Structure 1
Amino acid sequence: MQILVTGLGRFGSSLARTLAETGHEVIVLDTSEQAVQMATNVVDQAVVGDATNEAVLREVGATDVDLAVVAMAEVEASVLITTHLKNLKVPRVFAKASSEVHRLILERVGADRVVFPERDMALRLAQSVSTPGMLDYLELLPHLGITEIDGTPFAGQSLANLNLAARYDVNVLVIKRGNELIVTPGLSERVVEGDMLIVVGRDSRIAELQTAAG
């Protein structure tokens, strides 16, 4: 499958890497030269460019892809990119939302699927409170998912010390600490007892992390 990923933040970069490692042909597009350079050896094509420009999307081959993922959370940019992709007749467009209003707008402009991790995981958690450890698994794409795991076994350690990206190729998107959500936590953030870690990665690597978490 040929997939275009626009936006190389933490979520987009991890998504692109995972898709490439599972055999998909991946094109990435971002305005950051540094982010694109880091992706060059991972994906099939890495391009510096503004995805909000429809001409740029055409130039990178958006009209030929099977799926496009709008991975940035900025409302205006993601809505505009989604609109362009639908105008270019991309068969499927997935987009990440940062709020309920954002989701509604994305759906209105034609997004085929809106990924809203915090809301989706809350719903899944409510349905699976009886499952210890890995509370649930939300599939985003084949072999890729967002998972909520118990962070208590890692209590006292910083994300830098845990180094989950290097050890498991898994990234922490959110830490749920009681009623608080720490979105895209920094590497200096320490896990405390009772934390829930919302992570994204390949299902096989998430399974390894689940085993390590006990």
Structure 2
Amino acid sequence: MKLFKKVREICIIGMGRFGTAIAKTLLEDRENNIRLVLIDEEEKHLSPFKDEVDMIYVADCAEQKTLEAMNLKDFDVVIVSASNNIEIVAALAEIGVKSIIARATSNRHAQVLKQIGVNLIVSPEEEAGKKTAMIVANPTLTLYSENMVELQDGFVSASITITNPDMIGKKISELGFRNKYNVSIMMIKRDHKSYIPEGDFEIEDKDLLTFIGKLENITEVFELCARNDKKGKK
């Protein structure tokens, strides 16, 4: 018997590029059991989602009475993706919203948001800038990396498609990524299906491997995985 999974009510305020990306990602997973509500001051930003989400509102969310009328206090999470958001966050905190996620455009902005009640602060521009700098500073990552994410303490996760014929048909345990390079395989994607592999998992041509490890170690592993690739034969 399936256990009942509580519906999570999520609201996104501000449907620019950042808010749109969040909404699309949430909508891609039809099993996440959420009720999604979108708010923006301009109807044109909301119209692409009118048949996809539970409710859309054209409204100025800096007004406390407006937020109260939409019962946002009862939502599990309110995401404020608009960059000019201090008044909106203050109004949300004032009506008693318990979980607020907001976008910050600078360190000072982040400090102010934290002081007025934001639970989680995201800085997409800063994160994108760091990621781009890391990639362009390293020729191997520039050529081969897919979906690189900076983690903590110098660790990253990054993905690469296997092209080295010496790795095809080998088990993960035989390749010794953990012992030789101090990196771990988090996931393998093959023919649109993803796996969390164990040591006896065999690598096939064009598998997409996602690694986690220190940046310098990931780079070394990528050079191995990409050998005999048309862009960079060794």
Structure having the higher Rg? 2
Question: What displacement does 1:20 show?
Answer: 3.1
Aligned equivalents of 1:148, 1:94: Cα separation in 2: 26
Aligned equivalents of 1:149, 1:98: Cα separation in 2: 28
- Please tell me whether residue 136 in structure 1 is matched to residue 143 in structure 2: no
Residue in structure 2 matched with residue 48 of structure 1 by the alignment: 58
Residue in structure 1 matched with residue 46 of structure 2 by the alignment: 36
Question: What displacement does 1:31 show?
Answer: 0.9
Question: What displacement does 1:43 show?
Answer: 1.1
Question: What displacement does 1:42 show?
Answer: 1.7
Structure 2 counterpart of 1:137, one-letter code:
V
Residue in structure 1 matched with residue 80 of structure 2 by the alignment: 70
Q: 1:40 to 1:72 in 2, by over 3 A?
A: same
Aligned equivalents of 1:96, 1:57: Cα separation in 2: 19
Question: What displacement does 1:120 show?
Answer: 3.4
Structure 2 counterpart of 1:133, one-letter code:
S
Deviations 1:32-61 (A, max 9, x none): 011122221121111111111111112222
Is the CA contact (8 Å cut-off) linking 2:19 and 2:82 kept in structure 1?
A: yes
Give matches, 1:175-190, under 5 Å: none
Residue in structure 2 matched with residue 17 of structure 1 by the alignment: 24
Q: Secondary structure at the match of 2:146?
A: coil
Residue in structure 1 matched with residue 200 of structure 2 by the alignment: none
Deviations 1:142-175 (A, max 9, x none): xxxxx9999xxxxxxxxxxxxxxxxxxxxxxxxx
Aligned equivalents of 2:18, 2:95: Cα separation in 1: 24
Aligned equivalents of 1:60, 1:123: Cα separation in 2: 37
Q: 1:149 to 1:42 in 2, by over 3 A?
A: farther
Quick one: which of 95, 107, 115 aligns to 2:114? 107
Q: 1:148 to 1:94 in 2, by over 3 A?
A: farther
Q: 1:148 to 1:98 in 2, by over 3 A?
A: farther
Q: 1:40 to 1:149 in 2, by over 3 A?
A: farther
Residue in structure 1 matched with residue 91 of structure 2 by the alignment: 84
The alignment yields a C-alpha RMSD, in angstroms, of: 3.4
Structure 1 counterpart of 2:90, one-letter code:
T
Structure 1 counterpart of 2:71, one-letter code:
G
Is the CA contact (8 Å cut-off) linking 1:96 and 1:116 kept in structure 2?
A: yes
Question: What displacement does 1:117 show?
Answer: 1.8
Moved over 4 A (4+): 121-132, 147-150
Question: What displacement does 1:127 show?
Answer: 8.7
Is the CA contact (8 Å cut-off) linking 2:73 and 2:98 kept in structure 1?
A: no
Name structure 1 gaps, 5 residues minimum: 140-146, 151-204
Is the CA contact (8 Å cut-off) linking 1:17 and 1:42 kept in structure 2?
A: no
Higher relative contact order at CA 8 Å, sep ≥6: structure 1 or structure 2?
1
> Please, what TM-score do these two structures have when normalized by structure 2?
0.52
Give matches, 1:112-191, under 5 Å: 112-121=119-128, 133-134=145-146, 136-137=148-149
